[in-house]
Chains A and B, each alone.
Chain A
Amino acid sequence: MKFVDEFRDPAVIGHAVSEIRRLAGPSLADRGRHYRFMEVCGGHTHAIYRFGIKDLLPPNIELVHGPGCPVCVLPMGRIDDGLSLAKDSNFIFTAFGDMMRVPGACGSPLQHRARGMDIRVVYSPSDALKIAERNPGKEVIFFAIGFETTAPSTALILMRAKAKNIFNFSVFCNHVTIIPAIRAILDSPDMRIDAFIGPGHVSTVIGCRPYEWVAKKENKPIVVSGFEPADILQSIVMLLQQLRGHEAKVENQYKRAVPWEGNRSALKAMAEVFEIRPYFEWRGMGFISQSALRIRESYAAWDAERRFQVPGVRVTDPKAAQCGEVLKGVLKPPQCKLFGRECTPEQPVGALMVSSEGSCAAYYNYDHRRSEALTNIGAPA
């Protein structure tokens, strides 16, 4: 079913594409310049592959996929830690559907469910709290993941649990924050990014102000963008205009959803419940300081990590898998040795192949299959 019938104006797309070609075309000053733009958010990565936006761009514009896929950046050990709690028959483990097929060293949540553990998909943290209310004799764990888009909802649910004295509910918190990840990428010696396509829905919460240092201190343009092909193309036009004008500023292409100041109530809820972890491990990127959230002492009774024995598993990723290089944008998905062979969406080795926002899954589902189909068409019968 479609919500609306007419969905895309080819004239708008065509206009944006010709504007991009004009702006990226060689000028006397920067003859043959190559542009590398990072789309920070996995939702953008998904849209870019789905619509073949890469094919609309001139060859001197390269899109580099960023770390904005919460499932992808979660280290394997955290999954094993969370699932270790589910082994107790008195526990109900709840998580978003995105997590269900992500492999830990001892298997995915789905595989644990097949072994008889009580593991349930929820679409909202509210549902996890409801499960706790309906099962007073059980301990209900919510395995929380996500950037600032999702963290305020977890915060509000913890405030509710406290207000209603629901003590058989706790959160295993894996929330991360986007700004330190962008900083880590800019600090990484093997990265050269000219400008950023800023995340859309994270910015509904944090607003545009937190990106100002990217422009002012790092001298990199950043445009907060929507998810429609026309949005992404327009954001690329805005980035090129800034670069051609030797400017670096924060712009908001996604005004229909993102207020410049963000959502104050959501930020307040986060500040009430969470504090910054001194450091947190990101898959493929190592430990990044002050890059994640943990539950404050005042909510310790609802913090699964404080209440229960969590083994603190550290698992190194399978050696052949190059998730880290792909996450940092150093390698493109098909350049990984396992891509499409040992690692597929059906049998994922790394999380980038699981989430629809992971660049490997997006590449596999759209680009890889399309080029396979094209090859088959070209091959003699």
Chain B
Amino acid sequence: MCLAIPAKIVELLAAEESSAVVELAGVRRQIDTGLLGDDPPRIGDWVLIHVGFAMSKISAEQALDQLQALTVLGEHEAALEEIRGYEFNQSTSGNERGQT
């Protein structure tokens, strides 16, 4: 429930309010960056994601630590499943690009 997943920002979506695309282990999904408020993310930043929302920015080194923690916990599959599960990624799935 309180799973937090580190992922890297690879695209910022100007068309939609506070949206970005993250990548984790080859999986790309749209996330919401609205909770980062005054400190919006840039491409290349690492963020911790919970239920589709970026909760905090972390350093690349910290992200690696977090990924290790998930792997050690055996929750890397659950993390990938969750990221794959985010469906509001319409704008990143090719032919549906631009739809909201």
- Listed in ascending order, the chain A residues whose CB lies under 8 Å from chain B are 1-4, 7-8, 41-43, 46-47, 50-51, 68-71, 96, 98, 121-127, 130, 133, 145-147, 149-150, 152-153, 156, 160, 199-202, 204-205, 226-229, 231, 256-257, 259, 263-266, 268-269, 355, 357
Which residues of chain B are near A205, meaning CB under 8 Å? 55
21 chain-A/chain-B pairs, Cβ below 8 angstroms:
A1-B80, A2-B71, A3-B68, A41-B2, A43-B1, A122-B85, A122-B87, A123-B51, A123-B82, A127-B86, A149-B2, A153-B32, A153-B50, A153-B51, A201-B55, A204-B4, A204-B48, A227-B73, A256-B59, A259-B56, A263-B35
A96-B1, A150-B1, A263-B35 as given contacts; A228 in contact with B52, CB under 8 Å: no
- Contact between A3 and B55, CB atoms less than 8 A apart: no
Which residues of chain A are near B65, meaning CB under 8 Å? 228, 256
- Contact between B71 and A201, CB atoms less than 8 A apart: no
Which residues of chain A are near B53, meaning CB under 8 Å? 124, 126, 152-153, 156
Q: How far is the CA of A156 from the CA of B80 in the complex (A)?
A: 24
Which residues of chain A are near B1, meaning CB under 8 Å? 42-43, 69-71, 96, 98, 145-146, 149-150, 355, 357
Partner of B51, one of A150, A200, A202: A150
- Listed in ascending order, the chain B residues whose CB lies under 8 Å from chain A are 1-4, 17, 24-25, 32, 34-38, 48, 50-53, 55-56, 58-59, 62, 64-74, 76-77, 80, 82, 85-88, 100
Partner of B52, one of A8, A123, A259: A123
- Contact between A269 and B69, CB atoms less than 8 A apart: no
Residue from B17, B32, B58, B69 with most neighbouring chain A CB atoms (10 Å): B69
- Contact between B35 and A257, CB atoms less than 8 A apart: no
- Contact between A256 and B50, CB atoms less than 8 A apart: no
Which residues of chain A are near B48, meaning CB under 8 Å? 204, 257
Which residues of chain A are near B62, meaning CB under 8 Å? 256-257
Which residues of chain B are near A147, meaning CB under 8 Å? 2
Chain B binding surface, main DSSP class: mixed
Q: How far is the CA of A148 from the CA of B24 in the complex (A)?
A: 25
Q: How far is the CA of A263 from the CA of B100 in the complex (A)?
A: 28
- Contact between B25 and A46, CB atoms less than 8 A apart: no
- Contact between A4 and B71, CB atoms less than 8 A apart: yes
- Contact between A1 and B37, CB atoms less than 8 A apart: no
Q: How far is the CA of A126 from the CA of B51 in the complex (A)?
A: 9
Q: How far is the CA of A228 from the CA of B88 in the complex (A)?
A: 30
Q: How far is the CA of A46 from the CA of B70 in the complex (A)?
A: 12
- Contact between A201 and B35, CB atoms less than 8 A apart: no
Q: How far is the CA of A325 from the CA of B17 in the complex (A)?
A: 45
Q: How far is the CA of A231 from the CA of B37 in the complex (A)?
A: 29
Which residues of chain B are near A266, meaning CB under 8 Å? 35, 37, 55
Which residues of chain B are near A204, meaning CB under 8 Å? 4, 48, 55-56
How many whole Å from B89's CB to the nearest CB in chain A? 10
A123-B86, A257-B56, A263-B35 as given contacts; A8 in contact with B72, CB under 8 Å: yes
Which residues of chain B are near A156, meaning CB under 8 Å? 32, 34-35, 53
Chain B residue with Cβ nearest A9: B68
